A and B are shown apart, each in its own frame.
Chain A
């Protein structure tokens, strides 16, 4: 079976493309990126600010169990076309990875399915490789822990 999420990062380039088909109508897929309530749930981070409009900005933060800030990121939204496109910058604070430009293209495939094309451009090929090669130190754990949390909540809800 082909993996659902594909990452295309050509050797020696300073960008990459992440593609994923969702079993969701395009309006719901877009909503997951445009509304803090949903972004928090799947990104597993607290959204401090999210102004989903052209020239808006956003900021998110994750704290470790001791309450120390483990991850903080921010950016500016340059283009916001509902159910079609978001162009924004993304910067992980306190890291050497620089600012990346992210172009999200949302596309309906049918009434119930949609595709996300995420084009990420880094300041240099070197910075891209740093981000790619290091699975974000804690990133994998966060994603995993978050999934566990959600599964636990689902079980409790029954």
Chain B
């Protein structure tokens, strides 16, 4: 299994990113997570399964409920995990450069 590719595929999906953000600060049950989305419950379950399979989320069984929490260690273990963050700033700064260059050339006209 190519872990890195799987992780990046997992976080490429907006719903899965939203799930990660939700559980970033607290452990949540599958039901509580699903209640934050309009999407059908089985779809959310599928997303949770993918996030768990690539070990970004960890499950804990408590009675009949399954709880999910972020696996911070796994996230750290993935080399270049900050790449999406770096890319975000790189894109912003590229835009900044273009916007200001355009402004500069307009001033010179």
Binary per-residue interface labels of chain B (72-109) against chain A in the complex, 1 for a CB within 8 Å, 0 otherwise: 10011000011011111111111111111101100000
Question: Is the pair B88, A143 in contact by a Cβ cutoff of 8 Å?
Answer: yes
Q: Tell me how many residues of A have a C-beta within 8 Å of chain B.
A: 43
The complex places the Cα of A143 from the Cα of B93 at a distance, in Å, of 10
B46 proximal to A (CB < 8 A): no
The complex places the Cα of A41 from the Cα of B1 at a distance, in Å, of 41
B3 proximal to A (CB < 8 A): no
**Nearest neighbor of A9 in chain B, beta-carbon distance:** B82
A58 proximal to B (CB < 8 A): no
Q: Tell me how many residues of B have a C-beta within 8 Å of chain A.
A: 33
The complex places the Cα of A141 from the Cα of B76 at a distance, in Å, of 23
B63 proximal to A (CB < 8 A): no
Q: Evaluate whether A22 and B18 lie within 8 angstroms (CB atoms) in the complex, with A5-B90, A139-B88 already known.
A: no
Q: Evaluate whether A140 and B84 lie within 8 angstroms (CB atoms) in the complex, with A41-B99, A42-B95 already known.
A: yes
**Nearest neighbor of A31 in chain B, beta-carbon distance:** B100
The complex places the Cα of A141 from the Cα of B97 at a distance, in Å, of 19
Question: Is the pair B25, A96 in contact by a Cβ cutoff of 8 Å?
Answer: yes
Q: Inside 8 A of B95's CB, which chain A residues have their CB?
A: 41-42, 44, 143, 146-147, 150
B14 proximal to A (CB < 8 A): yes
Question: Is the pair B90, A3 in contact by a Cβ cutoff of 8 Å?
Answer: yes
Q: Inside 8 A of B72's CB, which chain A residues have their CB?
A: 126, 129, 133
- Can you offer 12 A-B residue contacts whose CB atoms are under 8 A? A3-B90, A7-B89, A22-B97, A24-B104, A28-B100, A32-B100, A42-B92, A130-B25, A132-B85, A135-B17, A139-B88, A140-B91
Task: Give chain B's interface residues, CB within 8 Å of chain A.
Answer: 11, 14, 17-18, 20-21, 24-25, 72, 75-76, 81-82, 84-101, 103-104
